[in-house]
């Protein structure tokens, strides 16, 4: 009779379908991506990695003067957040979309505030001095370099184009496929965030 009690839970476990997240580790699990940072948000408030403790983060690196790629990617992430808010409000509330500038000379808190407010009400913009930006770039494996100045004094910033989904302890889970559209971003977040 004891055998029946032991085998019943095993039989029930076998009937419960596993989700993809149950079957595999997150793609970036264990990667050396991320770490502590100390920056300033779009309201001029000092912000650290600990400011987001207990919440998932979508970390995107770009700059507000970007003529095409950054606004498109941020719009896609914002649309994915809106999809999550419709489909799973509890999960969406635990995800913070974050835009980290790679151009702190021009991306002041006031400039970031105007930029992030155009996309999503919970999008956080982060800036800091060049040393702080260099430190977060290194921690997240992000490349950027200031391009040549134009005749008008403007310039582009060449940079890598990854966005990371980080867990509530600021450990990497997966790359966010912002180049594949909002549905793909929402699906990737939903696959790894719980």
Residue 57 placed within a domain: yes
pLDDT, residue 150, reads 85
Q: pLDDT tier at 108 (50, 70, 90 boundaries)? A: very high
Residue 8 placed within a domain: no
Question: Mean of the pLDDT values across residues 128-141?
Answer: 97
This prediction has a pTM of 0.86
Q: Which residues of 37-50 are buried (b: 16+ CB within 10 A; e: fewer)?
A: bebbbbeeeebebe
Q: What is the CATH number of the domain that holds 129?
A: 3.40.30.10
Q: Compute the mean pLDDT over every residue in the chain, rounded to the nearest whole number.
A: 89
**Stronger pLDDT, 8 or 189, i.e. the higher one:** 189
- Per DSSP, the residues of 66-117 read -SSHHHHHHHHHHHHHHHHHHH-HHHHHTEEEEEEES-TTT--HHHHHHHHH
Helix (H, G, I), strand (E, B) or coil at 153: coil
Residue 17 placed within a domain: no
Residue 27 placed within a domain: no
139-188 pLDDT tens trace: 999 999 998 888 888 899 999 999 999 999 999 999 999 999 999 999 99
Q: In the predicted model, is pLDDT for residue 15 greater than 70? A: no
Domain with 161, as residue range(s), is: 34-192
Whole-angstrom distance, CA of residue 139 vs CA of residue 143? 11
Residue 38 placed within a domain: yes
Task: Give the total number of structural domains in the chain.
Answer: 1
Whole-angstrom distance, CA of residue 112 vs CA of residue 109? 5
pLDDT, residue 6, reads 35
Residue 14 placed within a domain: no
Q: Residue 95 contacts by C-beta under 8 Å, 6 or more apart in sequence?
A: 55, 56, 57, 58, 81, 84, 189, 193
Whole-angstrom distance, CA of residue 193 vs CA of residue 171? 12
Residue 15 placed within a domain: no
Q: What percent of the chain has pLDDT over 90?
A: 82
Question: Mean of the pLDDT values across residues 53-67?
Answer: 96
Residue 1 placed within a domain: no
């Amino acid at each position: 009779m004891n055998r029946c009690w032991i085998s019943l839970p095993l039989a029930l476990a076998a009937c419960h379908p596993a989700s993809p997240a149950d079957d595999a580790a997150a793609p970036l699990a264990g990667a050396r991506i991320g770490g502590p940072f100390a920056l300033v948000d779009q309201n001029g408030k000092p912000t650290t990695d600990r400011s987001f403790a207990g919440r998932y983060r979508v970390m995107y690196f770009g700059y507000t003067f970007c003529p095409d790629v950054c606004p498109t990617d941020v719009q896609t992430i914002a649309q994915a957040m809106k999809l999550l808010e419709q489909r799973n409000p509890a999960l969406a509330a635990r995800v913070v979309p974050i835009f980290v500038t790679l151009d702190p000379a021009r991306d002041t808190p006031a400039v970031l505030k105007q930029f992030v407010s155009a996309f999503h009400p919970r999008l956080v913009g982060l800036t800091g001095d060049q040393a702080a930006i260099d430190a977060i770039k290194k921690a997240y494996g992000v490349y950027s370099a200031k391009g040549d100045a134009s005749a008008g004094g403007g310039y582009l910033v060449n940079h890598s184009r990854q966005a990371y989904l980080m867990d509530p302890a600021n450990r990497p889970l997966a790359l966010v496929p912002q180049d594949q559209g909002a549905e793909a971003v929402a699906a990737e977040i939903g696959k790894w965030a719980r």
